[in-house]
Amino acid sequence: MNRYPLWKYLLIAFLAVLGVLYALPNIYGDDPAVQISPKSELAVGDDFLSPIENLLKEEGLQYNSMEHNDQRVLVRFADTDAQLKAADIMRERLTDQYGEQYSVALNLAPSTPGWLRSLGADPMVLGLDLQGGVHFLMQVDMDTAREQQLDRYVDEFRSTMREERIRYKAVRRDGQRVILELRNAEDLSKAFDLISRNSQDLLLEQEALNDRFFVRGTVTEAALEELRNTALQQNITTLRNRVNELGVAEPVIQQQGLDRIVVQLPGVQDTARAKEILRATASLEYRLVDTENDAFEAQRTNRVPPDSRLYTQQDGSPILLKRRLIVSGDQLIGANSGFDPSSGTPSVTVTLDGAGAARMLDVTLDNVGKPMAVVFIEYGSDTVEEPNGETRIVSTKTERVISVANIREPLSKRFQTTGLQKNEADQLALLLRAGALAAPVNIIEERTVGPSLGKDNISKGFTSVQIAFILVLVFMAIYYRLFGLFANVALLLNLVFIVAVLSLFGATLTLPGIAGIVLTVGMAVDANVLIFERIREELRNGNSPHNSIRAGYQHAFSTIVDANITTFIAALALFAFGTGPIKGFAVTLSIGILTSMFSAIMVTRALVNLVYGGKARLEKVSI
């Protein structure tokens, strides 16, 4: 007798119901929507909704619904025409009323019923090729990252020498090395011992040559590797924060190779704005003004005091600032644009972390009444044409003093920075909130996928799944009769399981992912074919139907497991070493292998046992 215990039937039924519930949101589709999000810590309250409702009524724009929480407002529309018009109007009105405090972004909001959302059931995330949007491939400028690291070593050497009162002639960067020149052999020995203890990432050597004494430090390969990895990961984190500022739903930001980052923004249509935010690198530095030396004389003679640096102010006049940095942009934890209440000019209110606040307090406490400058630093890129006619992208760095003011009282964690135009203040606040890029990035590839092409991909992809599914159903029903129908039920449930797992774990469905589902549909019945052919063989050898069914499932099991494990290993390798579309294919293939194992063995066996298991005397089976 072939019978399952009750708990196995209950388990299969429970998983089937669960699969249907989590696959169900995908049949409801999406609504064109406009998403309004605050760019700072502002909360969206109920009083914020009334002006939006009134604005839409004034313009005669009908909307399906409006929902909100503390982080955003989502307005759903019936079609994309109303969505696009509403987004333009809202962006213009909110900018006039609130400045750049809110971002308005286009979105596709799932129209899943509330009772399903309460269970955590959401539709599958569609990739760029299905939903439309923009794709950027960005190259991280590792040369600039190394130069910045070497500049930090130069500043660190100067600070160490001053603190330990060791006399030196100069500190400079030479290629991949930092060179410190001392005055005598005694200072050389002290400096070498001190730097050896504090700079573990440098290969140090000392040299005395013709009454000149040098300490040379070369960055180790391990330190360069760590710098590259750190810069790449920090850039990925920063880009993700900036994309969040843009209000893009379900972005894809991931590493590709050793120094490249892929950014995919589904649904984004304003590519110029996206490129501007993603590529920009801006930061602030706070430095004391050198009041002991003449900046005009330093500019005229090109002789800058060793403890100072020459900068240019907004009006073009020179100014000398102390080399020793007070705080920099990487110590900022918050930034909001607004207006200075005393002067009415645009300002950026910054908030420092604990170490930055302590450093700012110590310096300003000792320098009340003295001037302090704010340096605005911006990295960019230019295209340079080579003599042979080819072009290459080079990084640029712009530094300008945006504000010089006397320290009227000690500063600490939170204070204002002025001296910017309104658009510059808004842009700077956004970039500081999102964090500074560890190294500049250059966009080396850009692709735009229109929403109409995405819809066409979805239509063709699902058509291919339907055709493959129907052909397999027909073949199995004709060739294996009733057992073929059992396999068809398991195959249908397998599709439900795949969709449910993709939806439950938030995996992104791409066009190659649909190809993986089509392949899974064909492979899913392989296990049943092995089982059914083994049952036929047992019947031809004169075995009883019950024993043939039992032998078919038992003897084919090891073959099925071996075949699926090898395919699963290949899928894991594709996921581990592949990128983008290859990963999408590997994900659906892996999920399909696991779900097909369950449906092809457990579900079909349960159906066979349900139909034939209760018959004590079974003469024949329909196979």
- Per-residue pLDDT reduced to its tens digit, 533-561: 888 888 888 888 888 888 888 888 888 88
Quick one: 399 and 469 in the same domain?
Answer: no
Q: Residue 449, CB half-sphere, CA atoms under 13 Å: how many?
A: 23
Bridge-based pairing of strands 346-352 and 260-266 is unpaired
pLDDT tens digits, residue range 43-63? 566 677 788 888 888 888 888
Q: What is the mean pLDDT of the chain?
A: 80
The reply to whether 469 and 577 lie within a common domain is yes
End of a domain among 426, 448, 470? 448
Q: Has residue 236 been placed in a domain? A: no
- Decide if 130 is inside a domain: no
**What's at 554, amino acid-wise?**
Q
Structure token pair of residue 398: 């712009």
Domain that holds residue 209: 143-220
Q: Can you tell me whether residue 369 is helix, strand or coil? A: coil
Q: Work out the average pLDDT over 366-391.
A: 74
| Predicted local confidence at residue 130, as pLDDT | 75
Cβ–Cβ under 8 Å, residues 622 and 481: yes
Q: Both 19 and 35 in a single domain?
A: no
Reported as a single tens digit per residue, the pLDDT across 163-221 is 788 888 888 888 778 888 888 888 888 888 888 877 777 888 888 887 888 888 888 88
CATH of the domain at 174: 3.30.1360
Is there a domain that residue 527 lies in?
Answer: yes
Can you say whether the dihedral through the CA atoms of 583, 585, 586, 591 is positive or negative? positive
453: which residues sit within 8 A by CB, 6+ positions away?
Answer: 132
Together in a domain, 81 and 156: no
pLDDT band, residue 269 (cuts 50/70/90): low
Among the listed residues 372, 399, 383, 360, the one whose alpha carbon sits nearest the alpha carbon of residue 282 = 399
Same-domain pairing of 314 and 209: no
Listed residues 220, 239, 264: the one ending a domain:
220
Q: Is residue 245 in some structural domain?
A: no
Q: What is 15-57 written as a DSSP string?
A: HHHHHHHHHGGGGS-EEEEEEEEESSS----GGGHHHHHHHHH
Residue 385 lies in a domain: yes
Q: Tokens 């005598």 belong to which residue?
A: 184
At 14 the pLDDT is 93
Picking from 170, 189, 220, the residue at the C-terminal end of a domain is 220
Provide the CATH number for the domain around residue 43.
Answer: 3.30.70.260
Question: Which value, to the nearest 10 degrees, does the dihedral of the CA atoms of residues 453, 456, 457, 462 take?
Answer: 160
Q: Which of 26, 92, 101 is nearest to 429 (CA)?
A: 101
- Concatenating the DSSP letter of every residue in 85-137 gives HHHHHHHHHHHHHHTTSEEEEEEEEE---HHHHTTT--PPEE-HHHH-EEEEE
Helix (H, G, I), strand (E, B) or coil at 453: helix
**455 and 576 inside one domain:** yes
Please compute Rg for the chain using Cα positions: 33
Burial class (CB in 10 A: 0-12, 13-18, 19+), 278: buried
User: Which CATH number fits the domain that encloses residue 591?
Assistant: 1.20.1640.10
CA-wise closest residue to 262 among 572, 581, 510: 581
Look at residue 500 in the predicted model and tell me its pLDDT: 92
Does 620 reside within a domain? no
Whether 309 is in a domain gets the answer yes
Q: The domain that contains 339 carries what CATH number?
A: 3.30.1360.200
Size (the chain), residues? 623
Same structural domain, 294 and 415: yes
Q: Is 313 helix (H, G, I), strand (E, B) or coil?
A: strand
Choose between 106 and 566: higher pLDDT: 566
Q: Within this chain, do residues 425 and 382 fall inside the same structural domain, yes or no?
A: yes
Residues 441 and 493 in one domain: no
Backbone angles phi, psi at 516, to 5 degrees: -65, -35
Question: What gap in Å lies between CA 399 and CA 319, rounded to an integer?
Answer: 12
CA distance 67 to 117: 14
| Residue 248 forms part of a structural domain | no
78 and 15 inside one domain: no
168 & 182 share domain = yes
pLDDT digits (tens, 9 = 90+) for 442-481: 778 877 766 566 667 777 877 887 888 888 888 888 888 8
The total domain count for the chain is 4
Does one domain contain both 434 and 496? no
Residue written as tokens 């592949």?
Answer: 578
pLDDT band at 393 (very low <50, low <70, confident <90, very high): low
**Mind listing the pLDDT tens digit for each residue in 309-366?**
899 887 788 999 998 888 876 677 667 777 777 777 777 787 777 778 888 888 888 8
